[in-house]
Amino acid sequence: MTARVTTTVAELDTRLRSGRPPVLLDVRWALGDPHGRDHYTAGHIPGAVYVDLDTELAAPPSPEGGRHPLPELADLQAAARSWGISAGRPVVVYDDLGNTAAARAWWLLRHAGVPDVTLLDGALGAWRAAGLPLESGAPAAPVPGDVVLRPGGLPVIDADEAAELAVSGLLLDARAAERYRGEVEPVDPRAGHVPGAVSAPTGENLAADGTFLSPGELRERFTVKGAGEAVRIGVYCGSGVTAAHQIAALAIAGFDAALFPGSWSAWSSDPDRRAATGPLPF
């Protein structure tokens, strides 16, 4: 993956003032918080379009697909056009949680062949910290776009492939460490992790100000976890959302990685799949 992953606040501010501003997407979502649209309405970056993660960036949940299955391509294309995305127009995505939710939109659009999609580094917090304005209310719908999506831009693995990667390559678990160890499981059927997976919590991709760590720091982080030039890497989380953030961090570090969309929510729903517990992979 060679395309740029992030855009700075200063760059976004300049581009929004230009004659060719990017499509700006606000993916306000957090586990256990159903009020994303309300947060958006209370204050968002001027010109941003609200994107609902549960309904626009995912298909309905199922035991086989997990809590956030990938949406059908036709549904994602219809949503992307409603956000105003057209061929050749850049897209910038953000949330208010270090981009851990916005990365889902970044990954889906990159997977679907949109080449110029970036995350606002530092997310909404960085915009606020820079003293830049917010607008409230629900703006008029954007002019519909004409983007044509094509799948396959980023790799995907299923449960069998994730199990194989955990043995022959590197499978990273992006959830909080206590969920990896199996000490708590707030939402999915069973606690634990995929046998052989290595714990790499998503939050550790970020500096104290919510921006991504430097490429060098991220490369060292993932190298210590077992990443290397010849190592195949897969990533999962609870339902395939924050795992996309891990893939973005890996891309910044210079590593390609595949997403296991069903993640732990699908794995733990299958009684034939073993769950490991404790701090070690096996």
H or E stretch covering 167: helix 159-168
Both 177 and 99 in one domain: the answer is no
Q: From residue 34, give the alpha-carbon distance in Å to each of 55, 82, 224.
A: 12, 22, 36
- pLDDT per residue as tens digits for the range 257-279: 999 999 999 999 999 999 999 99
Both 100 and 175 in one domain: the answer is no
User: What does the pLDDT read at residue 154?
Assistant: 97
Q: What is d(CA 4, CA 182) in angstroms, rounded to the nearest whole number?
A: 35
Of 76, 111, 129, the one marking the end of a domain is 129
| Residue 154 identity | L
Q: Does residue 144 sit within a domain?
A: no
Both 111 and 204 in one domain: the answer is no
Q: Does residue 273 sit within a domain?
A: no
Of 76, 110, 129, the one marking the end of a domain is 129
Query: In the chain, how many domains are there?
Result: 2
Q: Does residue 74 sit within a domain?
A: yes
Both 168 and 123 in one domain: the answer is no
Q: What is d(CA 67, CA 31) in angstroms, rounded to the nearest whole number?
A: 11
Residue 235 DSSP SS3: strand
CB atoms within 10 A of CB 161: 17
Q: Does residue 38 sit within a domain?
A: yes
- pLDDT per residue as tens digits for the range 80-105: 999 999 999 999 999 999 999 999 99
Both 191 and 106 in one domain: the answer is no
Both 123 and 188 in one domain: the answer is no
Residue 16 belongs to domain with CATH number: 3.40.250.10
Name all contacts of 33-40 with Cβ < 8 Å and 24+ positions apart.
39/96
Structural domain of residue 176, as residue ranges? 159-267
CA atoms in the 13 A half-sphere facing the CB of 163:
10
Both 12 and 121 in one domain: the answer is yes
Structure tokens at 178: 């206590």
- The active-site residue out of 92, 117, 237, 253 is 237
Both 179 and 254 in one domain: the answer is yes
Both 39 and 124 in one domain: the answer is yes
Q: What is d(CA 62, CA 76) in angstroms, rounded to the nearest whole number?
A: 18
3-class secondary structure per residue, 2-33:
CCCCEECHHHHHHHHCCCCCCEEEECCCECCE
The residue count of the chain comes to 282
H or E stretch covering 234: strand 233-236
Q: Does residue 149 sit within a domain?
A: no
Residues (pLDDT < 70) of the chain are 1-2
* Sequence-ordered list of residues with C-beta below 8 angstroms from that of 198, at least 6 positions apart, any chain: 170, 171, 172, 173, 225, 226, 281
237 is catalytic: yes
CB atoms within 10 A of CB 228: 11
CB atoms within 10 A of CB 217: 15
Q: Does residue 241 sit within a domain?
A: yes
Both 98 and 29 in one domain: the answer is yes
pTM as predicted? 0.96
User: What does the pLDDT read at residue 1?
Assistant: 57
Q: What share of the chain is helix, strand, coil (3-state, %, to 5)?
A: 35, 15, 55
Instruction: Identify any residues that bridge with 30 across adjacent strands, giving them in sequence order.
Output: 33
Q: Does residue 281 sit within a domain?
A: no
Q: Does residue 135 sit within a domain?
A: no
Both 112 and 169 in one domain: the answer is no
Of 108, 129, 150, the one marking the end of a domain is 129
Both 192 and 98 in one domain: the answer is no
